Every structure is written in structure tokens, then in C-alpha cells.
Chains A and B, each alone.
Chain A
Amino acid sequence: MSTKIKGPAIKFGNNIDTDVILPGKYLILVDPHELAKHALESLDTSFPEKAKGGVILVGGKNFGCGSSREQAPLALKYAGVKCVLAESFARIFFRNAINIGLPVIECKGIADAVKTGDQIAVDFEAGKIENISNGKKFQVEKLPLFIIEILTDGGLIENLRKRMNKK
């Protein structure tokens, strides 16, 4: 996976929990494409349609709080979300997203600097985020190298296979 991502933003507020990202009643589904059809439907039933072409999700504080369900980031990824930027993340969601190869970046001030529809460019290796539509730029703390490797490998499983084969 490339470390550079570009796309239009879809913005949500604070404390977006994993129950609204993917309601519990869908956890019996195993196909990620099926999960994707219900991504964020509690807040916007047309989200999967809007995300289809590839989007960057922007949230406020505590994005992904609540349940540890990995089906939540999976649903977002398969719906077309290429990256999630937020003021802060709930830690289990943060790890889950990285582990399935979905870049997530904590960026203070991002929620106020972006509106839905803005074009966003992200370089998660360099820690650079730019709102191309209004020119606002952010330099965030870089992710540790081993996390960047997990992302560029496409997720923890691929990364682990690679590491185990080296041994």
C-alpha cells in the first residue's frame, strides 16, 4: 500500500461509536462487502453510496468508542473509506483499523479545518495532512515505524507472515 492517500472528506462529530458504525445486529455477517452495506447507516443511510468512490473520513474526539468489534473498521474500509482522521481515537478501534490495513491518524484541529466535500491529501509515513480545498496543513507526530510497516504490508496478518518467514 502507498503511504499517500487523496480523496474527498466526509465529516462526522465527536464520540462516533462502533454501534453506529456497525450495529450489533449485523455482527453475524461474515462477508465484509455485506458489512459495508450497513456502514454508518444509523447516522446516514446513504453513507455506503457516498463512500463508494473512495473517501477520507474525518471525526472529532474519541472516534470509534465502544465495542471492540473489528467489523466496524472492516465495514468502513470495504465501503470505500481510505483513511480516518480524528481529534482522538478510542484505542481498540485505532488498533483494529491498523491491523486490517486502514490508516488512522490522530490530528488535533482537523475537525474544525475540514468540511464534507473538501479534498484531503494524507501522507501517513511523513505525518503530513493537507486540506487542498482551503490550503490548511497539519504536521502530526509520525506513527512508529512498525505501525507504518503493518499498514504498508496491508495489515497485521500479512506483516506477521512476513516477519515469521524472515525468522
Chain B
Amino acid sequence: MNITEKILAKASGKKEVHPGEIMEANVDMIMVHDLTGPLAVEAFKKIGVKKVWNNQKAVVILDHQVPAESVKAAELHKTMRQFAKDQNLRFYDVGRGGICHQVMPEKGHVVPGTVIVGADSHTCTYGAFGAFATGIGSTEAAAVMATGKMWLKVPEAIKVNVSGEFQKFVTPKDLILAIIGKLSVDGAIYKSAEFTGPTIKGMSIAGRMTLCNMAVEMGAKNGIIEPDETTRKFLEGRIKNMPDFDALKSDKDAVYVRTVEFDVSKMEPQVACPSSVDNVKPISEAGDVPIEQAFIGSCTNGRIEDLRLAAQVMKGKHVKDSVRALVIPASQEVYRQALDEGLMQIFTDAGAIVCGSACGPCLGGHIGLLAAGEACVSTSNRNFIGRMGSTQASVFLASPATVAASAIAGKVTDPRKVQKP
């Protein structure tokens, strides 16, 4: 079996499971946030059970409309605050957490080998730690909170084998964009995407999270990476009991419906052009694209490693007059670390605005929206029509290095071409 099958077999109390099989899984952890939680609370109340099946296994995080930008959002937050209090759930309020997918592993809610569901499509991020993690809707979340169980169809698996060493300023974000560009937005539909190979083994947790985060952008049910020493180092001091990683490796004879190979050694920075995540071009072919906004942040690329990289490009330079640059650390922990490392000075000196840890403009619900005719280059994960504001605006997806370089140049720019002052 592959790692996903092993986790699902254990979660359903079986020795083995096979692709296509429908099984009932015991859920180890569930997360809801401020935009999916209120519907789940409403549905939960209709079920007629009084208590969440296990209050240690449900987490509520406010991150989308944070801080509340409208009375309506404030009401949603109030609903979630009250539910978390009534049910005695782990709760991360404004200023206490940050983006759910960063907070979950930081605060020890992600354990390798477990089944985690979240009412957010980017829940697949936790596959970076060797967990089976997938997104669900609000009603399903209510049912899981009531029962602790959920039906799942065991997915077929695609193996993405990655080798080679990244060039300077070429990153895991460029890799996942290249992968989605090759496989297409429905290339992994209903399937598991397992990332493996020497490049993955040498990759940071931050990079692995970026890869698994975007697995859903090619339709995957989950993205997953075998846990190893890098995983252990990140999780030590965050989770109580470290599981045995030996049981979380894909067997030599594990079955994959497809294997794709990537060599990153000659890869150049990649850009996903509007309005589909698989409209990916190497930056040399992206053309002359003037931008009005540059956004560094999100559950894809708002981690300390991402901010360091952006700061390295922006240090001592100025954001072009025609551009507003937004930097949003993924969590309070990342925010604090960026302060300690002096990254905030670099961003503010460059003329960027640093906002509080939250989803920001990524989903077009809150701050940093785009007007008709404007273009934004963003480290986030989606460039759909209307995603970041006006339906006549356009979004280009790229790495933190590329976004930082583009903010300085005022157009989509290869970070390798930004000269030292």
C-alpha cells in the first residue's frame, strides 16, 4: 500500500484498503473557520446532538475576515466564539493565531498518520507532515463534529518524483506551479498526489507545505509526503506523542496510476497567468505584464522562509510608485519571528504595507482588493475570475521571490534579474 492507503486502512480499522473502495473513517481532527464555521454550527444544531463528539479534536480558527471588516463578519465571529466556548473547543481568536493552515501545525493539531478534515479546501496542506488531510464543506463538518466519522472513497494515487537542486530564487512554489501546469487543473481529480524523490527529502517543511497546499489546485483529494527527520524537528515540542514514522512509508510495491518525473535543476521561475492555475509559463515567456499590486502571504507562501526570501530581494530597494505591495505573515508566530529578524523594517523601508496575520486579499473578501483593469502578482493559490475583487482584474501567481522582484520593477519580473543596489 502507499502511505495514503495505510492511513485510511488504519482509520477504518482494516488491514488493507484498495482504490475505489468506500469506507468509513474515524476522524482524528477537524477544523472550521469564520466563513465555513457558521453554516456548520447551524447544521450541527439541527442534528440534535448536544456536544461535539470529542472537544479535543475540533478546532475553530478565525482567519478569513480578520479583523472583522463589517458588522456581518463580526456577527459570524461572534457565532464561532460562542460555539467554541459552549463546546469548550480549541479556539484561535483575532491576534491569537493566524491563517488556519499555518496555525494547525504550529499549535500541534497536525500529527503524522492521522486523518484530518477541515472546512476549507486547502486543508490538504497538512499532507506535508504525512497526515491524510482533505477539505470538506460545512454540512459535512457538522456531521463529523456530531459523529467523529465520515465516508471516504479510497483514492487512486499519482506519484510525483522530484530530483535536482533548485537554482537561486527558484522555489517549491515554482515547482508546484510547473507540476499543475503539466498535469492541469483536473489532472489529479479524485486522486491522491504523493510527492517524493531527493528534492522533496531535502526540502524544508515550509516548501513541503507549499506543495501539498496546492495539490487541490489540480483536483487532488490530498497531497502527501512521507514524514522524516525534517518533519520530526518541526513537530518536536508541538505535539505530545511522536508517532512511529516507519509505518508511514509507501511500500516498494505500492500502486500508482501514474508517475511523473520533475527535474528542478534547470527550472526557471514560473508564473500562473489568468484565469486558471494551470495557465503556467516559465517567467521568460510571461511577457511584459505591468502590475498595480503585489501580495506576499497566504496559506501557500506566508511563512518565515517566504518572508526571508522576499526581504532578501527587497532589501535596500523601493516598491515602484505605481505598485502597492502587501506583506501578510501567515501567523502571529511568523509575524513575531519576522519582527525579531528585522524583516518588517526591510518591507516598510521599501514602501510595502505589512498587515495582520490573516488570509488577506487571497479570496477577495476583505482587504487589498483589485479594481477593474488592475493586475496583481501574488504568492497565493488561485487566479480565478473575480478571485481578488473585480471580475475585470487579473491575478498572476508566483513565488515570494518573483512577487518581491515584481513589486520593485512594477511588472512581472524574474527575481534573478533584480540587481543589488
User: What is the interface of chain A, defined by CB distance below 8 A to chain B?
Assistant: 15, 17, 19-20, 23-25, 27-30, 42-43, 61-62, 65-71, 88, 90-92, 95-96, 99-100, 144, 146, 155-157, 160-161, 164
User: What is the interface of chain B, defined by CB distance below 8 A to chain A?
Assistant: 22, 35-36, 38-39, 43, 46-49, 64-65, 70, 72-73, 76, 119-121, 123, 135-140, 142-143, 146-147, 151, 185-186, 189-190, 219, 221, 276, 363-365, 369, 382, 384-387, 389, 391
Asked if B48 and A161 make an inter-chain contact with CB atoms under 8 angstroms apart, the answer reads yes
Asked if B46 and A161 make an inter-chain contact with CB atoms under 8 angstroms apart, the answer reads yes
Closest CB of chain A to B79's CB: distance in Å? 9
Q: Which of B70, B73, B138 contacts A70 (CB 8 A)?
A: B138
Asked if A156 and B143 make an inter-chain contact with CB atoms under 8 angstroms apart, the answer reads yes
Q: Give the residue name and chain of the A residue nearest to B382 (CB).
A: A66
Task: Report which residue of B22, B142, B185, B190 has the largest number of chain A beta carbons within 10 angstroms of its beta carbon.
Answer: B185
User: Assuming A24-B364, A42-B385, A68-B119, is B219 touching A62 (CB within 8 A)?
Assistant: yes
Asked if B186 and A61 make an inter-chain contact with CB atoms under 8 angstroms apart, the answer reads yes
Closest CB of chain A to B177's CB: distance in Å? 16
With a cutoff of 8 Å between Cβ atoms, the chain B residues found around residue A100 in the complex are 139
Asked if A160 and B143 make an inter-chain contact with CB atoms under 8 angstroms apart, the answer reads yes
Cross-chain pair count, CB within 8 angstroms: 124
Asked if B135 and A92 make an inter-chain contact with CB atoms under 8 angstroms apart, the answer reads yes
Q: How far is the CA of A15 from the CA of B221 in the complex (A)?
A: 16
New A-B contacts (11) at CB < 8 Å, excluding given A25-B389, A62-B186, A161-B48 = A15-B276, A23-B386, A24-B363, A30-B72, A42-B391, A68-B135, A70-B39, A70-B138, A90-B189, A99-B137, A160-B143
Asked if B140 and A95 make an inter-chain contact with CB atoms under 8 angstroms apart, the answer reads yes
With a cutoff of 8 Å between Cβ atoms, the chain A residues found around residue B121 in the complex are 66-68, 92
User: Assuming A20-B386, A28-B73, A62-B189, is B43 touching A157 (CB within 8 A)?
Assistant: yes
User: Assuming A29-B72, A70-B36, A70-B139, is B219 touching A90 (CB within 8 A)?
Assistant: yes
Asked if A66 and B384 make an inter-chain contact with CB atoms under 8 angstroms apart, the answer reads yes
With a cutoff of 8 Å between Cβ atoms, the chain B residues found around residue A146 in the complex are 151
- What are 10 inter-chain pairs, A to B, with CB distance below 8 A? A15-B186, A19-B364, A28-B65, A30-B76, A66-B121, A67-B120, A68-B135, A70-B139, A100-B139, A144-B22
With a cutoff of 8 Å between Cβ atoms, the chain A residues found around residue B387 in the complex are 19, 24
Asked if A95 and B137 make an inter-chain contact with CB atoms under 8 angstroms apart, the answer reads yes
With a cutoff of 8 Å between Cβ atoms, the chain A residues found around residue B185 in the complex are 15, 62, 65
Asked if B38 and A30 make an inter-chain contact with CB atoms under 8 angstroms apart, the answer reads yes
With a cutoff of 8 Å between Cβ atoms, the chain A residues found around residue B46 in the complex are 157, 161
With a cutoff of 8 Å between Cβ atoms, the chain B residues found around residue A156 in the complex are 139-140, 143
Asked if A96 and B364 make an inter-chain contact with CB atoms under 8 angstroms apart, the answer reads no
Closest CB of chain A to B246's CB: distance in Å? 30
Asked if A91 and B384 make an inter-chain contact with CB atoms under 8 angstroms apart, the answer reads no
Q: How far is the CA of A71 from the CA of B48 in the complex (A)?
A: 22
Q: How far is the CA of A29 from the CA of B39 in the complex (A)?
A: 10
With a cutoff of 8 Å between Cβ atoms, the chain B residues found around residue A62 in the complex are 185-186, 189, 219
Asked if A27 and B143 make an inter-chain contact with CB atoms under 8 angstroms apart, the answer reads no
Task: Report which residue of B38, B140, B186 has the largest number of chain A beta carbons within 10 angstroms of its beta carbon.
Answer: B186
Closest CB of chain B to A149's CB: distance in Å? 12
With a cutoff of 8 Å between Cβ atoms, the chain A residues found around residue B119 in the complex are 68
Asked if B139 and A96 make an inter-chain contact with CB atoms under 8 angstroms apart, the answer reads yes
